[in-house]
Amino acid sequence: MMTLHWSPRSPFVRKVMVAAHELGLADRIRTIRTVVSMQQPARQLLAENPLGKIPTLVLADGTILYDSLVIVEYLDHLAGGGRLIPRDGHARFTELRRHALANGFLDMLILWRNEREKTQPLPALLDAFAMKSDAVLAALEDETEAMSQRPLGLAQITAAIAGAYLDFRFPDLGWRDRCPRFSAWQVRFAERPSMLATRIEDA
Ligand SMILES: N[C@@H](CCC(=O)N[C@@H](CS)C(=O)NCC(=O)O)C(=O)O
């Protein structure tokens, strides 16, 4: 049995859990609720992951894995390899680059949310986040068709989770009206059992 430091709100944890469901490995993962905050690092977690972040996965033999990309690579390897991240060639690097786009978007959304919740957010930073977010959404809209023609993979999982995270934390952004193709694709993807089983919630 593997143990995953988990929270129902983290999009990175969700990425790992969606991958586990898609690979048929979810029942080999025990989740433990781990509360993290940038302002108050969780002491116990630091012993396992010095970065103090979730997801962090502890294997049966005590081996510790982070971050979410490494954990998904490991799960994919357990499931035979090359299933969510193609093994080689152009397909592999396109998958990883698209994952980096959606994952970098999530990293940025977390920083953006922190900034805008401050009593005195830096206007230049808020403008920069808005500008980059527009550019990422335009790229996702542009790439939706090509991405959706690929077999299920980590890029699709991460992009769909980013869309759901926008609904959850940035309902004011109006991304669905601005990205009709990405939005329609995301709605369909969100119906997968792996997505339904891992819905993000404020709990
Ligand atoms: N690059 C990391 C990002 C993980 C991450 O930022 N997790 C957040 C929760 S959504 C966290 O643990 N934050 C606590 C902190 O930054 O101290 C990954 O892909 O796993």
Mean pLDDT of the chain: 96
Residue 10 alpha carbon, nearest atom of ligand 1: 10
User: Which mutation among 5, 32, 36, 201 tests ligand 1's pocket best, with the greatest number of atoms within 8 A of CB?
Assistant: 36
- What mean pLDDT is predicted for residues 157-182? 97
Ligand 1 center–CA 107 separation, angstroms? 8
Are 2-78 and 89-192 the same fold in CATH? no
Phi-psi region of 122 (alpha: psi -120 to 50; beta: other; left: phi over 0): beta
- What is the pLDDT, as a whole number, of residue 100? 98
Ligand 1 center–CA 174 separation, angstroms? 25
Pocket of ligand 1 (CB under 6 A): 10, 12, 36, 38, 41, 52-55, 67-69
- pLDDT tens-place string over residues 46-102: 999 999 999 999 999 999 999 999 999 999 999 999 999 999 999 999 999 999 999
- What is the pLDDT, as a whole number, of residue 203? 66
Token pair of 119 as six digits:
């009593």
- pLDDT tens-place string over residues 122-137: 999 999 999 999 999 9
Any residues with CB less than 8 A from the CB of 153 and at least 6 apart, and which? 84, 85, 86, 95
Radius of gyration of the chain (CA): 17
Contact assessment for residue 147 and residue 155, using Cβ atoms and an 8 Å cutoff: yes
CATH architecture classification, 89-192? Up-down Bundle (1.20)
CATH code that applies to domain 2-78: 3.40.30.10
Domain ranges of the chain: 2-78, 89-192
Ligand 1 center–CA 17 separation, angstroms? 15
Ligand 1 center–CA 103 separation, angstroms? 11
Nearest-angstrom CA–CA distance, 163 and 185: 10
Return the percentage of the chain with pLDDT > 70, whole number: 100
